[in-house]
A and B are shown apart, each in its own frame.
Chain A
Amino acid sequence: MNILLEPLQFEFFRNGVIAAVLAGGLCGLIGVYIVLRSMSYIGHGLAHAIFGGAVVSYVLQWNFYLGAGLWGFISALLINQTARRTKINADAAIGIVTTASFAIGVALISRYRSFTRSFDAALFGNILGVTANDIWVMLGVSVAIAITIFFLYKQLLFTTFDAEVAQVYGVSTPWIETIFALLLAAALIASLQILGVTLIAAALVIPAITARLLTDSFHRIILMSTAFGALTGLLGLYISFYADVASGASIVLTQSAFFVIALTITATQKQFARRMIHTHV
């Protein structure tokens, strides 16, 4: 019990725990839609794009959340529209838009070397940098995203399953796509500080595919993936504290461990089921 309570005496850890649980849950929730749209790479790419936006915001002295958020939203829209309206596939569109954006960030960093160090944290995640203000922003973003997904659950499910048919049945798919791009950009920006640009993609993908291994029902995947994300955020942060490793890395490694456990369980179940069939035949 002491192991759990001891780190909580530090304010930075308390802030970090809240941020990690929120970021993990948020990425778990959004990640389901990302994985099922076969756009797993978009998290990785958009995080890099947002990095470019963050640098631009810093140079132009804009608010980080506003500048990076707008940049990320526009990048997500550009990717969506390029993939849907041209012959370019989603993965290639992600590659073009996000690496170009990341390159802008790198170019600006090499031009203004004075702020290179503070962006290390953005790349790999750092709980020490989480302030009370960040927590409030994360909480606001998490509640807004959860409410939006709650009320657009049916439309998002139909659009993710088959966007063209959803349109025939009356779903305004362009609007749903736009709203989803906005949600994704907001989730990434809110989670960037704790998970880091390079590891955020894993936090989007791993809880969703872990949940996919354990259930065939969409609403259960949503619940399980969000729960896995939040739980691994919490556990990962404790591991980060005791093992003295970057928060993003420890959260992703905890999620990977959950995935391996889920994979072992399902493989064992399948083997058991096959044996049962053999026994009865």
Chain B
Amino acid sequence: MKPVIELRDVTFGYTHHPVLKKIDLHLHPGQLAAVVGPSGAGKTSLLKLILGTLQPVRGSVKMNVQQHSKQQSDRLARRVAYVPQVDTIDWNFPVTVEEVVLMGRIRNASIWPWPSRADREQMAGVLQQLEIDALAKDHISDLSGGQQQRVFLARALMAEPDLLVLDEPTSGVDMKTAESMLHLLLHLNQNGMTILMTTHDLNLAAAHVPWVICLNQEIIAQGAPEEIFTSEILNQTYQSDMMVMRQDGMIFVHQRPHSHTLREVIPDPVLGHLPDAHSVIEKVMQPNVKPLKKKNGRPITDESPARI
């Protein structure tokens, strides 16, 4: 089966600052995949390379068998729909929910400025499916975070895409809304839609996404979460101490508190003088160890004074 997306040896970046290096990535029809990685790892750039709004410095980005080219924009538009990060939206822009959702029909739209009957019927169906039909006349800033995400998903669905690309679809929403968004995406995927998304939420990805790509400028690992969500791979991806727990077939990922910031805030020479700063943190994390106390303004542990 031909991959929907095929990236070969793709490097992208600005002068003296590579954002992505030697990316090899295939996404097959019907796949649901999530790209995870820390901020600045190049997740959004990767999506934009796939969408054709950024061009690689080296390597090739293929959609089926044809390379991105200026002439291909029509073809690309028929196949791909994109849900951008909510942070990039101008929420003061004067548009109602239905005006945004109808933008998704632009490829099939009539030449008249008003929507056709077919446009309206399709919009009604999509809004109902996403349970936002009552909000059609509302301004986009009058909605909750979850509703806003659904509006932009509705716009994408109006394009009837084969490939749906979403940038952080669960950011800025509570856990319940994020879960419901993921269930929605799973449902679309079960109906044959290929989906590629980025996310910061490792636990949500572990629980719902069958294929995960760990990215930090280059692809560290990719595969099923149960295979690649290991401390070693995640430490390498996030350059931080990550805890991975497995229980009853479920995976829980957690970043050890302060481990990352301690290393960034305190320079190596100082950190080097600490007798065992890391063990201090690990001990505090244990439930039977008393928390840090302060004595003469200095935090101490039961055993050794930490000169922090």
Contact = CB atoms under 8 A, between A and B. Distances in A.
Contact of B113 (A150, A212, A215, A216): A150
Interface residues of A, number: 26
B95 A218 contact: yes
Given A153-B113, A217-B99, A169 B81 contact: yes
B109 interface: yes
A161 interface: yes
Given A217-B94, A218-B94, A165 B113 contact: no
B94 A168 contact: no
Contacts of B99: 157, 217-219
B52 A169 contact: no
Nearest to A216: B139
A168 B90 contact: no
B95 A169 contact: no
Contact of B94 (A158, A166, A221): A221
Interface residue SS majority, chain A: helix
B78 A170 contact: yes
Interface residues of B, number: 32
A216 B94 contact: yes
Interface in B67-106: 73-74, 76-78, 80-82, 84, 88-90, 93-96, 99-100, 102-104, 106
B73 A170 contact: yes
Contacts of A165: 82, 84
Contacts of A182: none
A168 B159 CA distance: 11
B206 interface: no
A161 B76 contact: no
A162 interface: yes
Contacts of A158: 103, 106
Contacts of B159: 169
A217 B96 contact: yes
Contacts of A166: 103, 106
A89 interface: no
A140 B46 CA distance: 47
B77 A168 contact: yes
A155 B106 contact: yes
B95 to A, nearest CB: 5
A11 interface: no
A129 B76 CA distance: 52
Contacts of B78: 170
Contacts of A161: 90, 93, 95, 100, 103
A263 interface: no
B304 interface: no
B160 to A, nearest CB: 12
Contacts of A219: 99, 113
A150 B104 CA distance: 19
A169 B77 contact: yes
Given A158-B103, A216-B96, A167 B139 contact: no
A133 B87 CA distance: 50
B123 to A, nearest CB: 14
A242 interface: no
Nearest to B95: A218
A170 B77 CA distance: 5
Nearest to B113: A153
Interface string A21-34: 00000000000000
Interface string B44-64: 000010011100000000000
Contact of B107 (A150, A151, A167, A170): A170
B73 A167 contact: yes
30 contacts: A150-B113, A151-B113, A154-B103, A154-B109, A154-B113, A157-B95, A158-B103, A158-B106, A162-B88, A164-B48, A164-B53, A164-B84, A165-B82, A165-B84, A166-B106, A167-B52, A167-B53, A169-B81, A169-B159, A170-B74, A170-B78, A170-B106, A170-B107, A172-B73, A215-B94, A217-B96, A218-B94, A218-B95, A218-B96, A219-B113
3 cross-chain pairs, A with B, having the tightest CB-CB distances, nearest first: A170-B77, A153-B113, A216-B139
Given A36-B94, A167-B53, A217-B99, 11 more contacts: A153-B113, A154-B103, A161-B90, A162-B90, A164-B53, A164-B84, A169-B77, A169-B103, A170-B76, A217-B94, A218-B95
